[in-house]
Amino acid sequence: MIACIAYMGITHAQGKSLVPKELVGHWQLGTFSMTGFWNPTTGQFAGNAGETSRSYQIAADGTAEEFFIYNSTSYNCRTQIMGYRKGAIRFDAGSQSFTFCPSTGYYRTANCFKKDWQRKEYSGKDLCPQYKVTYYWKVEDGNLLVSDTPGGSSSIYKKIDQLRK
C-alpha cells in the first residue's frame, strides 16, 4: 500500500488528511431486481434476477476500502461475485472529485456449475497504478452523490456507519 499512497501524493509524513470530514465513514449503494425465480422442482426461492451492491469505507488518513457483491439468476442458475479492494483515496477540492487507487484486494466467484469460492488475489491491471477510478461527488441531504463525469447522472450512496476512532 505504501507505493500506491506515494503515487497518489499522500504520505504518512505529511501527517494531515486530504479527506473532507463529511465523507469519513462507510457509504453504500445497492440495487435489486423485483423479478424473482423459484426452483420448479423444489418450489424453493432461487433468488432475484439481479442484485448489486458497492460500498466504500473512507478513513480520515486517506485510505479506503471498496466492497462489492454481484448476484444474477437466469434459467435457475445463480452467479455470485464478491470482491474487496483496499488502497489510497485522494480528493481534489477544485474539481470536487476523488480517485481511488487500490493496492491490494481479492474476489470470490460461484455459480450453479462451479461452487469453489476460492479466494483469488487481484494483481496487475486490477491494482494501482494500472487500475484507478475517479468519481465526481457532492453531499446532498446526507447522501453521497457520485458520478463518472462532472455534472453526469449520479448514483446515491447512503452512509451506513461512522468509522470509530
Which among 70, 66, 68, 101 is positioned nearest to 85, based on CA atoms? 66
Q: What is the pLDDT of residue 71?
A: 87
Sequence spans of domains, the chain: 2-161
* 36-77 tens-digit pLDDT: 767 778 887 777 667 889 999 999 999 999 999 998 877 778
Cβ atoms < 10 Å from Cβ of 80: 17
Assigned C-alpha cell, 3: 507505493
Residues 6+ apart with CB under 8 A from 23: 58, 91, 98, 137, 139, 144
- Please tell me which residue, 2 or 113, carries the higher pLDDT value: 113
Say what the pTM is.
Answer: 0.78
Residue 101: is it exposed, middle or buried by C-beta count within 10 angstroms (0-12/13-18/19+)?
buried
Q: How confident is the model at residue 34 (pLDDT cuts 50, 70, 90)?
A: low
Q: What is the pLDDT of residue 8?
A: 43
Cα separation, 80 vs 72, in Å, equals: 7
Q: What is the pLDDT of residue 79?
A: 86
Q: Is 75:113 a contact under the CB 8 Å cutoff?
A: no
pLDDT over 90 at 138, yes or no: yes
Cα separation, 5 vs 7, in Å, equals: 5
